[in-house]
Amino acid sequence: MSTHLDSEGEAGKQADLDVTEELQSRRDVSGGELFDRILERGVYTEKDASLVIQQVLSAVKYLHENGIVHRDLKPENLLYLTPEENSKIMITDFGLSKMEQSGVMSTACGTPGYVAPEVLAQKPYSKAVDCWSIGVITYILLCGYPPFYEETESKLFEKIKEGYYEFESPFWDDISESGKASRCEGQDNRLKAAKRKELNNCHSPGS
Which residues carry out catalysis? 72
The gap between the terminal CA atoms of the chain, to the nearest Å, is 37
> Can you count the helices (H) and strands (E) in the chain?
6, 5
Contact 70, 91 (CB under 8 A): yes
Pairwise CA distance, residues 51 & 102, whole Å: 33
Contact 4, 92 (CB under 8 A): yes
110: nearest Cα among 136, 84, 140, 144: 136
Pairwise CA distance, residues 65 & 5, whole Å: 14
Q: Which three-class secondary structure state does DSSP give residue 62?
A: helix
Q: Which three-class secondary structure state does DSSP give residue 122?
A: coil
